């Protein structure tokens, strides 16, 4: 999600820095646009450091419009790129210009040029806020579908008391997320996600593993955290950075993964087993590096513990989701796994399909559920596939609650 944050010239401009951070926590990419007056209160450098992006401070950039066509049409490019424009703090002046369609700086031009939803959080002296001109302008914006996050009452920077203080960062972030469709519908869940491959040592330098990149599991952890869940990500070795806001547990072998799961199981309400765990491990790993020889070598392997089946047997109210990465007879194997592992949902994918499986950014999944449900999805980014899996968990949770309510009523 991309959001442009317009900062105009009021004392509350410094609070916009906190808003940047808060939106970033939701995984939102923030492009800051400052009016000339705003730069009297906070420097663009503050926002550039927070966002890692150039802050847009004027219409024409460093060079003249004629000499730099890219910068001259930047307002159109930004207008098309963003999913939402939020102006916080919004001064009486900027609100008036927006209401009248005056476009004499980058921010007000962007407002006219974008078709994305707009959120405005006014902040000003109480008399300025209550002035008929400001109220008319605010009503005009509301009438056009602009979402206004009303200022709070309280002590104002000018020394007066009344309405005009910038709404809290949480309230503004909530309005932004609401308009972007980012919901915190998993805030009652504690989700354990397993991800990546596991490694089974042959000797101190060699091991058996598989091609799992961990992208699907990390996507699930990120998506669940964004939707408000507490997330424990138990991961085998991958090249990925753990998503922000998740508790990260690094493991190597299947046995370590099982131990970590058992340790965190008590507080989990849902478990998603996206890891590609090794099914076999050497019976007796060598303690010293195996020397090269001429003849054949036979490795004797034994089954690793069946983590999913073990968890599903003791699951209680927890919703358990397993994965079936298959190369053939996908539906058959997925349904069989649903039964044998007592899982609530099996996410099946044909790893040979185009744009699916290991190390791809996309996946093609079908969800098989214990209630008989079966839902196939087209190829989509793994983060979107993650959201579809989480949606299914929520549906099952709601269905479970309704069932309990009906049973109690009898």
Residue 217 as a binder of ligand FMN (CB under 6 A): the answer is: no
Residue 123 as a binder of ligand FMN (CB under 6 A): the answer is: yes
Smaller CB separation from ligand FMN, 104 or 300? 104
Looking at residues 61 to 120 of the shown chain, list those that interact with ligand FMN (rule: CB under 6 A).
91-94
Query: CA neighbours within 13 Å on the CB side: how many for 284?
Result: 2
Total of chain residues touching ligand FMN, rule CB under 6 A: 15
CB 180 within 8 A of CB 1: yes
**Given CA atoms 141, 145, 151, 157 in this order, what sign does their dihedral have?**
negative
Interaction mask 14-43, ligand FMN, x per CB under 6 A: ---------------------x-xx-----
Give the nearest distance from C-beta 35 to ligand FMN in angstroms: 3
List the alpha helices (DSSP H) in 198-329: 215-226, 254-265, 307-313
Smaller CB separation from ligand FMN, 32 or 275? 32
Give the nearest distance from C-beta 264 to ligand FMN in angstroms: 47
Smaller CB separation from ligand FMN, 123 or 367? 123
Instruction: Please select the residue that binds ligand FMN; options are 3, 4, 9, 165, rule is CB under 6 A.
Output: 9
Give the nearest distance from C-beta 238 to ligand FMN in angstroms: 46
CA distance 94 to 100: 10
3-class DSSP state of 63: coil
Residues 6+ apart with CB under 8 A from 51: 20, 24, 30, 31, 32
* 177 counts as catalytic: no
Instruction: Please select the residue that binds ligand FMN; options are 5, 16, 99, 124, rule is CB under 6 A.
Output: 124
CB 157 within 8 A of CB 166: no
Residue 163 as a binder of ligand FMN (CB under 6 A): the answer is: no
Element (H, E) at 34: strand 29-34
Q: How many residues in the chain?
A: 410
Active site residues: 158
Contacting positions for ligand FMN (CB under 6 A): 8-12, 35, 37-38, 91-94, 123-124, 128
């Amino acid at each position: 999600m991309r959001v442009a944050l317009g900062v105009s010239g009021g004392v509350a401009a410094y609070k916009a820095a906190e808003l940047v951070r808060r939106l970033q926590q939701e995984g939102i990419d923030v492009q800051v646009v400052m009016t000339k007056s705003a730069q009297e209160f906070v420097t663009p450098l503050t926002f550039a450091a927070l966002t890692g992006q150039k802050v847009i401070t004027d219409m024409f950039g460093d060079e003249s419009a004629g000499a730099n066509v890219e910068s001259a049409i930047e307002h159109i490019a930004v207008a098309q790129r963003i999913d939402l424009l939020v102006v916080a703090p919004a001064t009486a002046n900027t609100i008036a210009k927006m209401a009248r369609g005056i476009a004499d700086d980058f921010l007000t031009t962007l407002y006219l040029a974008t078709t994305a939803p707009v959120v405005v959080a006014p902040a000003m002296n109480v008399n300025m806020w209550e002035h008929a001109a400001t109220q008319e302008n605010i009503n005009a914006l509301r009438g056009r579908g602009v979402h206004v996050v009303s200022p709070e009452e309280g002590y104002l920077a000018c020394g007066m008391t009344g309405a005009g203080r910038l709404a809290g960062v949480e309230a503004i972030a909530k309005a932004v997320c609401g308009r972007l469709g980012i919901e915190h519908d998993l805030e009652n869940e504690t989700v354990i996600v397993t991800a990546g491959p596991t490694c089974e040592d042959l000797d101190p330098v060699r091991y058996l593993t598989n091609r799992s990149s961990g992208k699907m599991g990390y996507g699930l952890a990120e998506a669940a955290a964004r939707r408000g869940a507490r997330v424990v990500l138990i991961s085998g070795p991958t090249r990925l950075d753990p998503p922000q806001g998740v508790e990260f547990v690094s493991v190597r072998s299947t046995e370590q993964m099982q131990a970590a799961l058992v340790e965190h199981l008590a507080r989990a309400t849902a478990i998603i087993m996206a890891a590609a765990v090794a099914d076999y491990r050497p019976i007796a790993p060598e303690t010293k590096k195996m020397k090269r020889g001429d003849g054949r070598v036979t490795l004797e392997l034994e089954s690793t513990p069946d983590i999913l089946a073990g968890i599903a047997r003791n699951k209680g109210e927890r919703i358990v989701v397993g994965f079936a990465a298959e190369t053939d007879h996908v539906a058959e194997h997925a349904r069989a796994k649903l039964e044998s592992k007592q899982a609530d949902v099996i996410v099946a994918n044909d790893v040979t399909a185009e744009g699916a499986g290991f190390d791809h950014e996309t996946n093609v999944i079908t969800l098989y559920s214990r209630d008989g449900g079966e839902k196939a999805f087209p190829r989509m980014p793994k983060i979107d596939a993650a959201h579809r899996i989480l949606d299914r968990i929520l549906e099952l949770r709601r269905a479970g609650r309704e069932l309990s309510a009906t049973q109690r009523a009898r």
